[in-house]
């Protein structure tokens, strides 16, 4: 069982129709997307976040339930749903975001909502995105992290939104706390540029592997992805696909990493350090394939396992522009 903890929100996705632009509400939020993708890939997963009682909150809950998700850790709240407006950069389909978070349900998780201990069947905790920089949810996630035992893997995708980090100096100690606990770390090029300006993807991987992270992956958009552990380094190209947009592609990539590791070896932190380069290549290629399917659809609509099985037999078309 995996617990994915962090924000949920409604992404307002731009749609052009009749010469006018509209915004279509679709479920989103990085940890939410990871949860949805894991459920669709057949991985037992619980999502941990407060959900609003408003119509958007009910849409978020229905979507997760339809993706075979366990919502027993999702307290309901009268606070309104968190909103994120997605802005696409022309033909590149490259998303930027504006979030409305103040006093909203997606950031309202409190330390008191966290269970006193993890259930025996929980073998992985996944954290990430702007939840780490917001309150009270950031403090709640720190409490959840404190429940980790030696048998529990920690997965982390910082997915940093700089304009939501009100104080870099205050945020970095918390981020470093999560980085120090991480067994699986995925960064995007944007994360890398914010955290370590001027550092290359490979040097970043070396830095965190040397610090004790079992497996580090940096996604590099159309250039593919780099993965490194104590056994070696692997680079894989981006999959080729006709791109609708890249919303949620990085979250799908993260979920696919976890799903492959669970399927092949079980969710054991020590396994990450011992994957050979052949296995690393298979792992990253599987994640890139899953992310490419999400890129082919508007909004974050991760693939089901049977779609990945079918996709393995088809030929790609056009470069996916970015795995974010």
Q: Do β-strands 232-236 and 225-229 pair in parallel, antiparallel, or remain unpaired?
A: antiparallel
- Tell me if 177 sits within 8 A of 142, measured CB to CB: yes
Q: Which of 113, 157, 245, 251 is catalytic?
A: 251
Q: How far is CA 71 from CA 47, 67, 319, in A?
A: 6, 11, 36
For residue 211, how far is the Cα from the chain centroid? 22
Concatenate the DSSP letters of all residues of 161-182 into one string. Answer: -GGG-S-HHHHHHHHHHHHHH-
CB atoms within 10 A of CB 85: 15
Please say if 191 is a catalytic residue. no
H-helix or E-strand spanning residue 48: strand 45-48
Say which residues have a Cβ less than 8 Å from residue 168's Cβ, sequence separation at least 6.
Answer: none
Say which residues have a Cβ less than 8 Å from residue 125's Cβ, sequence separation at least 6.
Answer: 2, 3, 5, 118, 144, 145, 148, 152, 153, 154, 155
Catalytic positions, written as ranges: 251
């Amino acid at each position: 069982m995996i617990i994915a903890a962090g924000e949920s929100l409604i992404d307002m996705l731009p749609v052009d129709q009749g010469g006018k632009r509209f915004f279509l509400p679709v479920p989103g939020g990085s940890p939410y997307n990871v949860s949805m993708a894991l459920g669709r890939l057949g991985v037992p997963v619980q999502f941990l976040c407060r959900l609003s009682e408003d119509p958007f909150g009910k849409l978020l809950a229905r979507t997760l339930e339809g993706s075979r998700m366990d919502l027993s850790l999702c307290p309901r709240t009268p606070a309104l749903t968190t909103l994120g407006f997605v802005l696409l950069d022309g033909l590149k389909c490259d998303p930027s975001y504006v979030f409305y978070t103040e006093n909203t349900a997606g950031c309202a998780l409190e330390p008191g909502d966290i269970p006193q201990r993890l259930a025996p069947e929980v073998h992985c905790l996944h954290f990430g995105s702007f939840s780490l920089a917001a309150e009270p949810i950031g403090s709640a996630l720190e409490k959840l992290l404190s429940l980790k035992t030696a048998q529990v893997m920690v997965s982390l995708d910082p997915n940093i939104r700089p304009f939501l980090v009100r104080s870099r100096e205050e945020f970095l100690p918390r981020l470093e706390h999560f980085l120090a606990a991480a067994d699986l770390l995925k960064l995007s090029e944007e994360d890398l540029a914010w955290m370590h300006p001027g550092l290359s993807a490979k040097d970043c991987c070396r830095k965190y592997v040397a610090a004790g992270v079992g497996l580090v992956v940096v996604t590099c958009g159309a250039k593919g992805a780099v993965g490194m552990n104590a056994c070696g380094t692997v680079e894989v190209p981006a999959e080729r696909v006709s791109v609708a947009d890249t919303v949620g592609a990085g979250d799908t990539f993260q979920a696919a990493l976890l799903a492959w590791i669970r399927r092949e070896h079980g969710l054991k932190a020590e396994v990450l350090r011992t994957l050979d380069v052949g296995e690393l290549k298979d792992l990253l290629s599987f994640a890139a394939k899953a992310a490419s399917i999400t890129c082919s659809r508007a909004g974050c609509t991760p693939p089901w396992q049977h779609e990945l099985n079918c996709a393995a037999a088809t030929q790609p078309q056009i470069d996916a522009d970015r795995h974010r």
